[in-house]
Amino acid sequence: MAGEGGRRPEVEGEARDVGPETPGRPATLFLPGALQPWAGGRSSLSLEGATVGEMLDGLALSVPQLEWRLRDEQGMVRRHVQIFVGDTNIRDAAGLQTPVPEGGCVYIIPAVAGG
């Protein structure tokens, strides 16, 4: 699943705290191993947001060093980043406007790519 991009550079911040979780815990964002070092080693984060885009907006505030791995500066999801709400790829739904149900599960999955 991780493909060739499934490793991350050795950078400072391996053990940094990811900041307080969003109260309310309406949905869970699951991270692949490659992204976990940017989240303080955690495999999931609880985030508020009625849509995937709103969840990532919250991520940009609470864990900025992680958010810009997923979206570029114009807010577009990077080409080889796949985001699923449950078993639905948001590219097959409403993109960043895809609704996230309360208590839902959102998965970040790196596409198989590279050489």
Partner 1 sequence: MSEAVLLIGTRKGVVVGRSRQGRRHFELQPLQLMMNAVYGVGIDTRPETPRLFATAMSEHWGPSLHHSDDLGATWLEPDQAPIRFPEETGASLARVWQVQPAPANQPGVVYAGVEPHALFRSEDGGITFSLVEGLYSHPHRERWEPGGGGACLHTIVPHPDDPAQMLVAMSAGGVYRTTDGGVTWNPGNKGIQAYWLPEDQRFPEFGQCVHKVASHPTRPERLFAQNHFGVYRSEDWGGSWEPIESGLPSTFGFPLVVHPSRPETLYLFPLVADAERMPPERKCRVYRSEDAGGHWEPLNEGLPQEGYHAPVLRDAMCTDGGDPAGIYFGTRAGEVYASSDDGDSWHLVSEHLPDVLSVRAAVLE
Tokens of 112: 């198989």
Number of Cα atoms under 13 Å in the Cβ half of residue 86: 11
**The one segment of 41-49, 74-82, 83-91, 92-100 that binds partner 1 by CB under 8 A:** 74-82
Q: How far is the CB of 95 from partner 1 (least distance, A)?
A: 16
Q: Which is nearer to partner 1, 21 or 102 (CB)?
A: 21
Binding status of residue 18 toward partner 1 by CB under 8 A: no
Residues between 79 and 108 that touch partner 1 (CB under 8 A): 80-81
Question: What does each C-alpha distance from 32 to 19, 29, 44, 74, 90 come to in angstroms?
Answer: 19, 10, 9, 23, 17
